[in-house]
Amino acid sequence: MISVTNLVINRDQSIRQCLETLDQTGMSILLLIDENGSLLRTITDGDMRRLILAGASLDDDLFGLSDKAPVCISLNMVDDEVLALMDMHEINQLPQVNENNQPIGLHLRHMLRPRVQLSIPHMGEQELIYVKEAFDTNWIAPLGPNVDAFESEVAEYVGSKHAAAVSSGTAAIHLALRLLGVGPGDSVICSSFTFVASANPILYQGATPVFIDSEPATWNMSPVALEKAIISCVSKGRKPKAILPVHLYGQSADMDAIMEISEKFDIPVIEDAAESLGGLYKGRHTGTFGKFGIFSFNGNKIITTSGGGMLVSDDVELIEKARFLSTQARDPAPYYEHTEVGYNYRMSNVLAGIGRGQLKVLDDRVQARRDVFERYRNGLKEFECLEWMPEPSDDISNRWLTAVSIKPGYGVDVPSIIKALSDENIEARHLWKPMHRQPLFSGCVYFPHSVELSLSDYLFETGMCLPSGSNMSVSQQQRVIDELSKLLNKGRHG
């Protein structure tokens, strides 16, 4: 914002003075105020030109100007709102006024910094074509050709035999648990380092989660802690009904080790691949190792349908049952007959159209997010305190969000960095707060990676995610890197 002291002018002043002020300040706009200092209108070169062409002389005052209430910025508007207002009125400068309508500053477009967000939707070119098709054929109702096509396209993309499109990733997890017969009193093993949506459906079924820590190699479910947990549950006569590992921030968990334990104890796996669509474990897509895999198309994910999810499995009967349960479990009868509890979980044909378009650009989005990660790592490589989320050499993470931890003892802590970035209009966030530390799950058992190390606790306390959208510009990312460098240097030098 620039100061208005040299830009205010009142009606007593002459056209000449007005033109001279414009000349001296090098600005293309002045602010006309009344005797109370309240803003009447803005004045431009063009306004002066029109007065003169209408017969005014250079020494005439400004009473010839009509009142023209200007578009103004109110006191508490943030840069993004100001930019939106400028876009709406197609102008590059706007005065800001206080509660008495007195100008307190002038905002210029090039000085504004839009918020750099963590992860926002990034549409391709074909989404609208599929959505339009749905409109043109009036397939607005749930189900329809886009849903069928989206299911088979996702199944083919990830290399799973079958898929059911549903209203959210959470719904997909819920259906998977239901299909495995998880019910009241059962135990389900779940990653602790995750978003609450992984574990909530366990509660929907009246079951109890048993939380497992992460391991250093992947920051995901520790196979060591997993085996310990199963042995402990079995010894108490409560063999877990399912294992729910999460592929956080796009990086796969160690699926060989987890599947080996799953087979050894004969407990099915549901992979929460909500964040890892497009990511590979040893060349194979995450979400295709367990009995079930789930994906999310929520607005912040790597591709989105604005809201949606997918349940995948090689078992056709289970997927068909999922479709049945997600459409109110209606029995095959000429009237509405029901013998089981069902849900309204199906994805709509309109949203599936968005998904089909998004799937076409998924590989580009993965590459873009991986590039974002590499630019951060490169741009900040001088800072030894940074520990980037690992990626085992056989895997390809989709790098949904760039996750980094700051080793303690370097004089910088994550909460103050997140706050300082936010003050610069940059959105960074804490890594997920582990489930075993959530009040919601206060009574649940937790198995750390080892006696010495609870990695999920460490990562929560020292880690953050940086803006990682695939549509973030290189210059926006440079802004983040520059701000972070400043903050980390401050820490380094006290």
Ligand X SMILES: *Cc1c(COP(=O)(O)O)cnc(C)c1O
Interface contacts to ligand X, rule CB under 6 A: 168-170, 194-195, 197-198, 246, 272, 274-275, 296, 298, 309
**Helix (H, G, I), strand (E, B), or coil: what is residue 75?**
coil
Cα separation, 333 vs 348, whole angstroms: 24
Residue with Cβ nearer ligand X (274 or 350): 274
Indicate the helix (H) or strand (E) that contains 94: strand 93-97
Cα separation, 431 vs 455, whole angstroms: 12
Residue whose C-alpha is closest to residue 369's, from 468, 269, 489:
468
Q: How many CB atoms lie within 10 A of CB 440?
A: 12
Smallest gap from Cβ 287 to ligand X, in A, equals 12
Residue with Cβ nearer ligand X (40 or 354): 354
Smallest gap from Cβ 466 to ligand X, in A, equals 17
Residue with Cβ nearer ligand X (39 or 166): 166
Smallest gap from Cβ 378 to ligand X, in A, equals 27
Q: Dig out the tokens for 341 from the structure.
A: 């509890």
Residue with Cβ nearer ligand X (291 or 479): 291
Smallest gap from Cβ 3 to ligand X, in A, equals 46
Residue with Cβ nearer ligand X (201 or 448): 201
Smallest gap from Cβ 189 to ligand X, in A, equals 15
> How large is the C-alpha radius of gyration of the chain?
29
Residue whose C-alpha is closest to residue 155's, from 12, 314, 381, 2:
314
Q: Dig out the tokens for 105 from the structure.
A: 């500053």
* Strands 386-388 and 402-406, sheet pairing: antiparallel
Residue with Cβ nearer ligand X (82 or 273): 273
Smallest gap from Cβ 275 to ligand X, in A, equals 5
Smallest gap from Cβ 292 to ligand X, in A, equals 13
Residue with Cβ nearer ligand X (198 or 462): 198
**Helix (H, G, I), strand (E, B), or coil: what is residue 336?**
coil
102's CB contacts (< 8 A; 6+ apart) are: 33, 36, 37, 38, 39
Select the residue whose beta carbon is closest to ligand X and give its number: 169
C-alpha distance from residue 221 to each of 189, 192, 388, 447, 490 (Å): 10, 8, 18, 10, 35
Q: Residue 251: left (phi > 0), alpha (psi -120 to 50), or beta? A: beta
Smallest gap from Cβ 303 to ligand X, in A, equals 12
Residue with Cβ nearer ligand X (194 or 288): 194
**Helix (H, G, I), strand (E, B), or coil: what is residue 107?**
strand
**Helix (H, G, I), strand (E, B), or coil: what is residue 128?**
helix
Smallest gap from Cβ 352 to ligand X, in A, equals 14
Smallest gap from Cβ 191 to ligand X, in A, equals 8
Task: For residue 404, count CB atoms less than 10 angstroms from its CB and return exposed for 0-12, middle for 13-18, buried for 19 or more.
Answer: buried
**Helix (H, G, I), strand (E, B), or coil: what is residue 404?**
strand
Handedness of CA 351, 354, 360, 363 (dihedral sign): negative
Residue with Cβ nearer ligand X (220 or 462): 220
Residue with Cβ nearer ligand X (197 or 480): 197
Residue with Cβ nearer ligand X (221 or 428): 221
DSSP strand E in 199-356: where? 208-212, 242-244, 270-272, 280-281, 284-285, 292-296, 309-313
Indicate the helix (H) or strand (E) that contains 298: none
- Length of the chain equals 494
Smallest gap from Cβ 73 to ligand X, in A, equals 35
